[in-house]
Amino acid sequence: MSGRKTLRTDVAIVGGGIVGASAALALRQMGIGVVLLERDLCGSRSSGVNYGGVRRQGRPIDQLPLAQRAHRIWGRLRETIGTDGEYLRSGHFKIARSEADMASLERYRAQSRDFDLGLELISDARLRERCPWLGTRAVGGSLCAEDGQANPRLVSPAFALAAQRAGAQVFERHKVEEVAHDGQAFMLRSGNALEVHAPALLNCAGAWAGSIAAEFGEEVPLQSGHPAMAVTEPLPFFMDWSLGVEGGGIYCRQVARGNLVLGGGGKGIALDADRARSDRDAIASLSAQAVELLPALRHAHFIRTWSGTEGYLPDRQPVLGPSRTTPGLFHGFGFSGAGFQIGPAAGEVLAELVRDGRSSTPIESFSIERFTPTPP
Amino acid sequence: MTASSAAVQPVIVGAGPAGVRAAQALVAHGLRPVVIDEASRAGGQIYRRPPASLAQRSAQALYGFEAGRADAVHAAFDALRERIDYRPDSLVWNAQGGRLDVLHGPTRSTSSLPYGQLIVATGATDRVLPVPGWTLPGVYTLGGAQVALKFQGCAIGERVAFMGTGPLLYLVAYQYAKAGAKVAAVLDTARLADQLAAAPAMLRQPAVFAKGVYYVAWLRAHGVALHGGVRPLRVLGDAQESRVAGVAWHDGREERTLACDAVGFGHALRSETQLADLLGCRFEFAPLHRAHLPVRDAAGRSSVRGVYLAGDGAGIMGADAAEWAGERAALALLADNGVAVDAARAAELERKLQKLGGFREGLERAFPVPQDWAAHANDELVVCRCENITAGTLRQAVAENGADEMNRLKALSRVGMGRCQGRMCGAAAAEILAHATGLPLQQVGRLRGQAPIKPIPIHLAAAPSAEGAGE
C-alpha cells in the first residue's frame, strides 16, 4: 500500500537488545549495511532491565571463549559505545555456603584454568577480614577480580545508539509482523509502515525469537523467564564486589551511589506477552536470602522491584550460529538469563558469520542443531 | 441479599471521604467491608484528624467552612466503626493475583489480604512544579502545610508565603491566618482574568464558589497581600542556605522579593494511582487533569472486573465528589454482586458528579497550570530531589539519547527512581519531557507503577505472606 517504506540493505536484524545492537554496530564497523527493527525501545527488555552482572566466573566452560572475547570488548566500552555505562571491574565473588560449595568452586577454578580468569579462593579468617559485612552462612568463596558490573539501563540502549551513529538504520517501535524468504532474500514487514529486504537476517529477538526460528522450520524449546529484581534505597557504601551464590539463589551488588541491586530468588510473573514484574513470594525469598548473606541490609528499605522477559533454553545455553535450514539466516538468542556479559561478543560473532561464513570464536556448543531430532 | 453475596467481604483502600461513604453504603446493605487506612485515624487528607492525644482544636477551627462536612464524614465513620473491619496504620504496598500486601506500621508486620472486590480510594497529593530553592528546609507543599496544621497542630513557619495556584492556595492561606500564623503573601500564578473568565462555570457550584470568594475577601480584609499572575522565580535561602529567607517572583513587569521563613507551594493536586496501576487498570490521558488516569465508568467501575475507583485517586474532583463517588462505587459493587440497590439514588449520585464536572473545568480555567513552567525551568533546577536530577539532565537525555517517553527518560536519567518512585517529580518531569521533545504531554506517557508503592523494610518483605483475611 502507499506510504509503506521499502528498504533494501545487506543485513536485517530483528531485536534491539544488546545482541542485536552490538551485531549492528560490528557490521557497520565492517562497512556492511544494516537495518534493525525493534518492537519496543532498544535495550528496554531483558537487555536493559537485568541485574547488570558482567561476569565470566561460573559460566559453562564452553562459553568462556565467548566470555573472554566479551571481556575485551567491555574493557574498551567507552571508546566502543561512547559511555562507560557505570561499568566497573569491581570483582565478582561467588559465595560458598558449605564445604561442598567450596569444593565445587575449586573444581571450577581447575576446569577454567586455560582461560586465565584469575580466580582466587578466599575462606575463613581472610574472608572475615576482607568482608566483615558477610553473614555467617558464608564459609568462603571464589573471587574473580576482573569481573564486575554495569548499568544495563545505560549500556544496552547505548549499543543501539552507537550502531545508529555508525550508520545502522534503527527502527524502534517497529514490531516485525511478517518474515519470509524467497530463496534469494529475506523480506520483513512491520505493519503498513516498513518493509525490509536483505540477503541476510539476524534473529536476535530474545524471548520472542522462537517464532522466527519456527518460521524457517527450526522449532526450539524456547521459554520465557522472569527473574525477580529489587533495589534498596541508597546505603553507605560498603561493598565493591558483585555477589553471587554457588548453586544459584540470589545475586547482589552495590552501585556507586549506594543502592543495592538484588536479583534471583525465584520467578517473576508475566503480566502479558510483553510485560512482567517481580512475584511477591520471589521478593520474600530474595529478601530472606539477602538478609542472611548481608545482615546489614535488615533495616534497609526496598524502594522498587521489577522484572523482565528473558528467553531460556533447556540446557541454559544460547542458540548462536547459522540456521541449518536457510542460508543467510543467523540466530543469536536464548541467553537464558546470562546474556549481558557475552552479548557484545555474540554480536561480533554474528557479524563475522555474515561476512566470513564462520566465526573466529568457537560456538559449536550453541548450534541450533542440538534441538534437531536425530534420525533413528 | 443473595446467598452468594453473603460470602463477599469487599475491601476498601482509603478512609477519606470516598472510602468512608463507600463503607457506609456497603454496611447499609449488610456487608462488612475491610477498610485499609494508611493513617491512624479515618478522615483522609482533607478531613484529617489530629491524633487523639492532640485533639484540642474544634472542627470549626480545624476545617473552617468544611467543619460540617468533616464532622459528617467523621461521624459516619465512627458509627460504622464496629460494623467494619477497620485497619488503620496500614500501607498497601503491593497487589498481585487477587491479594493485597499490607504493611502494618505499629507492629512492623506484613500480611496478605485476599479480595474479590475492591474499592480503590487512594486520594491525592500535591502536584509539584518546582522552583529553584524548593529543596531548602522550610519549603512545604500546600497539602503538607495543611497536614502540619490539622494533624500536628503547628504551622510550617512564623511568616509564611503561599505560592502556586489552585483552590488549596487560598484555603490553606486562610486556615493559616485563622490559626494565628502570619501569612506573608499569597502568590498565584493564575491571573485575576482567569478567575473572571471561569466564573460562569464556577457558579455551577455556587456554595463552593462563594467559599472561594470569601477566602480571598477575608485574606484581603485582613491585610494579606494577594498577587495574581506571578511567575515564581525562586525560594531564597538565608546566608548559610540552611533555611528559607524569602521568595522572589516576577509580576509581569519586574522582579520582586519578600521576606518569609517558610513557603507552602503547589499547583493543585495529582491522583495517587499506583495501586490502580498495579491492579492492572487501563489508563488514559485526561486533559482536564493533565495526567494519565485509570479509566472508570460513571459508576466507578475500572477496566478490571471487581475493581472500583472512587475519589481523587482516579481524578481530582474534590471532597464532595469523593463522597458521592464512594457511595456510587459501592452501589455498583453491590449491584454487580446481585444485590438490589436504590437505582434512583445511584442516578442522583451520577447526576451530581456529572454536574461537578463542569465546575471542575471552571476551576482549571480559574487556576490553570502555568503552561510556560517547563520553558522557564532552568537547567540547574532540581526536578527529582530523591535522586538529585536536574531539568538539564532530563533535557540531555532527550537531546543526546533520544528519550521521548517517561519510562525511557527514567531509565536514562534516574528521574523517579528514588524513594518517592516519581510520585512527587513525575508530573514535573513529564512537563519537561513534553517541552523538550515538542510532543504533547499526552504522548510522553506516564511512569509505570512498580511495587512497593512506598518503601518497605527488607526484613518485612521477607516475612512469609500470612493470611490476613479472617477476623
**Burial (Cβ within 10 Å: 0-12, 13-18, ≥19) of residue B436:** buried
Q: Which residues of A touch B419 (CB under 8 A)?
A: 233, 301, 303
Q: Does B417 touch chain A (CB under 8 A)?
A: yes
Report pLDDT digits (tens) over B91-128.
Answer: 999 999 899 999 999 998 999 999 999 999 999 999 99
Q: Does the pLDDT of residue B3 top 70, yes or no?
A: no
> Between vectors from CA A248 to CA A242 and to CA A251, what angle results, nearest 5°?
25
Using DSSP's 3-state secondary structure scheme, residue B434 falls into helix
Q: What percent of chain A has pLDDT over 70?
A: 98
- Cα distance from N-terminal residue to C-terminal residue, chain B: 22
The single-letter DSSP state of residue A120 is E
Mean pLDDT on B49-69: 77
Query: Predicted confidence band at A330 (pLDDT cuts at 50, 70, 90)?
Result: very high
Scanning A30-170, the segments in alpha helix (DSSP H) are 46-49, 64-75, 77-81, 99-111, 124-130, 152-165
Query: Predicted confidence band at B65 (pLDDT cuts at 50, 70, 90)?
Result: confident
Mean pLDDT on B150-179: 92
Mean pLDDT on B312-329: 96
Q: Which of A226-230, B96-100, B204-208, B332-336 has the lowest mean pLDDT?
A: B204-208
Long-range CB contacts (< 8 A, 24+ apart) of B394-397?
A: B394/B429, B394/B432, B394/B433, B394/B436, B395/B432, B395/B436
Q: Among B96, B401, B452, select the one facing A157 at the smallest CB separation.
A: B401
Q: What pLDDT sits at residue B258?
A: 96
Q: What pLDDT sits at residue B49?
A: 84
Q: Among B94, B99, B450, select the one facing A306 at the smallest CB separation.
A: B450
Tell me: cis bond preceding A375? Omega within 30 of 0 counts.
no
Q: Among A161, A271, A301, select the one facing B456 at the smallest CB separation.
A: A301
Q: Which of A15-24, A257-266, B215-224 has the lowest mean pLDDT?
A: A257-266
H or E segment and range at residue A317: none
Q: Grid cell 526496598 — which residue?
A: A302
Distance CA A43, CA A15 (A): 9
Q: What pLDDT sits at residue B84?
A: 97
Taking CB atoms and an 8 Å limit, are A161 and B452 in contact across chains?
no
CB within 8 Å of A346: residues ≥ 6 apart:
A19, A22, A23, A66, A70, A318, A320, A332, A335, A339
Q: Does the pLDDT of residue B467 top 70, yes or no?
A: no
Q: Which residues of A touch B421 (CB under 8 A)?
A: 303-304
The answer to whether A42 and B402 are in contact (CB under 8 A) is: no
Q: What pLDDT sits at residue B2?
A: 42
Q: Does the pLDDT of residue A2 top 60, yes or no?
A: no
Query: Predicted confidence band at B201 (pLDDT cuts at 50, 70, 90)?
Result: confident
Mean pLDDT on B61-84: 89
For helices A18-29 and A343-356, give the axis angle rounded to 10 degrees.
40
Taking CB atoms and an 8 Å limit, are A301 and B419 in contact across chains?
yes
Distance CA B372, CA B394 (A): 17
Q: Does A309 touch chain B (CB under 8 A)?
A: no
Taking CB atoms and an 8 Å limit, are A153 and B421 in contact across chains?
no
Q: What pLDDT sits at residue B469?
A: 38
Long-range CB contacts (< 8 A, 24+ apart) of A123-131?
A: A123/A96, A131/A93, A131/A239, A131/A241
Q: Among A48, A161, A290, select the one facing B458 at the smallest CB separation.
A: A290
The answer to whether B395 and B384 are in contact (CB under 8 A) is: no
Q: What pLDDT sits at residue B55?
A: 60
Q: Does B304 touch chain A (CB under 8 A)?
A: no
The answer to whether B212 and B174 are in contact (CB under 8 A) is: no
Query: Predicted confidence band at B5 (pLDDT cuts at 50, 70, 90)?
Result: very low
- Across chain B, mean pLDDT equals 92
Q: Does the pLDDT of residue A274 top 90, yes or no?
A: no
Distance CA A372, CA B418 (A): 48
Q: Does A269 touch chain B (CB under 8 A)?
A: yes
H or E segment and range at residue A343: helix A343-356
CB within 8 Å of A251: residues ≥ 6 apart:
A51, A53, A242, A243, A244, A245, A262, A263, A264
Using DSSP's 3-state secondary structure scheme, residue B100 falls into strand
Q: Does A301 touch chain B (CB under 8 A)?
A: yes
CA-closest candidate to residue B44, choices B69, B19, B62: B19
Rg (CA), chain A: 21
CA distance B26 to chain A (A): 30
Query: Predicted confidence band at A248 (pLDDT cuts at 50, 70, 90)?
Result: confident
- Chain A: residue nearest B457 by CA? A301
Distance CA A352, CA A26 (A): 8
Q: Does the pLDDT of residue A157 top 80, yes or no?
A: yes
Q: Does the pLDDT of residue B471 top 50, yes or no?
A: no
Q: Among A161, A285, A288, select the one facing B401 at the smallest CB separation.
A: A161
One-letter amino acid for residue A68 of the chain: Q
Q: Does A244 touch chain B (CB under 8 A)?
A: no
DSSP codes joined into one string, B185-239: EEEESS-HHHHHHHHHHHTTSHHHHHHHHHHHHHHHHTT--EE-S-EEEEEEE-T
One-letter amino acid for residue B356 of the chain: L
Q: What pLDDT sits at residue B465?
A: 55
Q: Among A44, A280, A304, select the one facing B101 at the smallest CB separation.
A: A280
Q: Does the pLDDT of residue A172 top 90, yes or no?
A: yes
> Between vectors from CA A239 to CA A238 and to CA A242, what angle results, nearest 5°?
165
Report pLDDT digits (tens) over B30-39.
Answer: 999 999 999 9
Q: Does the pLDDT of residue B52 top 90, yes or no?
A: no
- Across chain A, mean pLDDT equals 94
Q: Does the pLDDT of residue B468 top 60, yes or no?
A: no
Distance CA B162, CA B179 (A): 15
Q: Grid cell 524569602 — which residue?
A: B246
Please list the residues that pair with B309 across neighbouring strands. B120
H or E segment and range at residue A13: strand A11-14
pTM over 0.80: yes
Q: Does the pLDDT of residue A281 top 70, yes or no?
A: yes
CA-closest candidate to residue B187, choices B126, B254, B134, B250: B250
Q: Does the pLDDT of residue B470 top 60, yes or no?
A: no
Distance CA B346, CA B49 (A): 29
CA distance A291 to chain B (A): 7
Please list the residues that pair with B237 across neighbouring strands. B244
Q: For chain A, count helices (H), then strands (E).
A: 10, 24
Query: Predicted confidence band at A102 (pLDDT cuts at 50, 70, 90)?
Result: very high
Report pLDDT digits (tens) over B421-457.
Answer: 999 999 999 999 999 999 999 999 999 999 999 999 9
Distance CA A26, CA A10 (A): 13
Q: What pLDDT sits at residue B54?
A: 66
Q: Does the pLDDT of residue B375 top 70, yes or no?
A: yes
- Dihedral through CA A106, CA A108, CA A109, CA A110, nearest 10? 90
- Contact pairs from chain A to chain B, CB under 8 Å: 90
Q: Could you tell me the CA-to-CA distances from B145 to B46, B70, B126, B152, B420 in Å, in that order?
A: 12, 18, 11, 10, 18
Mean pLDDT on A166-177: 97
Q: Does the pLDDT of residue B265 top 90, yes or no?
A: yes
A262: its cell numbers: 538484588
Q: What pLDDT sits at residue B319?
A: 92
B389: its cell numbers: 536530577
Taking CB atoms and an 8 Å limit, are A304 and B463 in contact across chains?
no
Q: Does the pLDDT of residue A375 top 70, yes or no?
A: no
Q: Tell me, what's the ipTM?
A: 0.93
The single-letter DSSP state of residue B156 is S
Using DSSP's 3-state secondary structure scheme, residue B384 falls into strand
To test the contact with chain B by mutation, choose from A170, A304, A307 the residue with the greatest count of B C-beta atoms within 10 A, namely: A304
Q: Does the pLDDT of residue A44 top 80, yes or no?
A: yes
Q: Could you tell me the CA-to-CA distances from B451 to A227, B186, B333 in Å, in that order?
A: 15, 38, 26
Distance CA B405, CA B437 (A): 9
Going A93 to A99 to A101 to A107, the CA torsion angle's sign is: positive
Q: Grid cell 579468617 — which residue?
A: A125
Distance CA B174, CA B217 (A): 10
Rg (CA), chain B: 22
Q: What pLDDT sits at residue B417?
A: 95
Strand arrangement, sheet containing B85-87: B85-87, B34-36, B11-13, B118-120, B307-309
Q: Does the pLDDT of residue B6 top 50, yes or no?
A: no
Taking CB atoms and an 8 Å limit, are B112 and A301 in contact across chains?
no
